[in-house]
Amino acid sequence: MKCLSHLITLLVLALSTSLGWASCQQSAAPGMPNPDMASEYEMLQAQIAVKNYLATQEQYLNCVQSSRKHNQIIDRMHEIADQYNRKARRYKARMESQDMITELALLDLSI
């Protein structure tokens, strides 16, 4: 029984250590789809990936000791967010232009 207690304690300690270590790993930047060809699903997946990246990096910032490195990470987070936002705006513009073309085609048919 005492061995089981020690084993459980060891497992809890190992899990808590690995979870703490996982939050101190820098996340890789997510890939971005081409907004000129992407589907709505791909853009939503990219949005989720960017949000997860930003959340992971936010946790990672707690582990960073150097203010220079901290600022570099913040700059990179802004860069990734801005990159996604530009692609999302381009995707939305593409969708709006397709809607206008469809409306024009429907108007042309009704004349």
Based on the structure, what is the number of domains in the chain? 1
Residue 45 lies in domain? 2-110
Q: What is the pLDDT along the chain (111 residues), one digit of tens a residue?
A: 555 555 455 455 554 444 444 568 889 999 999 999 999 999 999 999 999 999 999 999 999 999 999 999 999 999 999 999 999 999 999 888 876 666 666 665 655
- pTM comes to 0.69
Residue 8 pLDDT: 58
Residue 97 pLDDT: 84
Distance separating alpha carbons of residues 94 and 102, to the nearest angstrom? 12
Residue 72 pLDDT: 95
Distance separating alpha carbons of residues 98 and 111, to the nearest angstrom? 20
Alpha carbon 70 to its chain centroid, in Å, reads 19
Distance separating alpha carbons of residues 76 and 21, to the nearest angstrom? 22
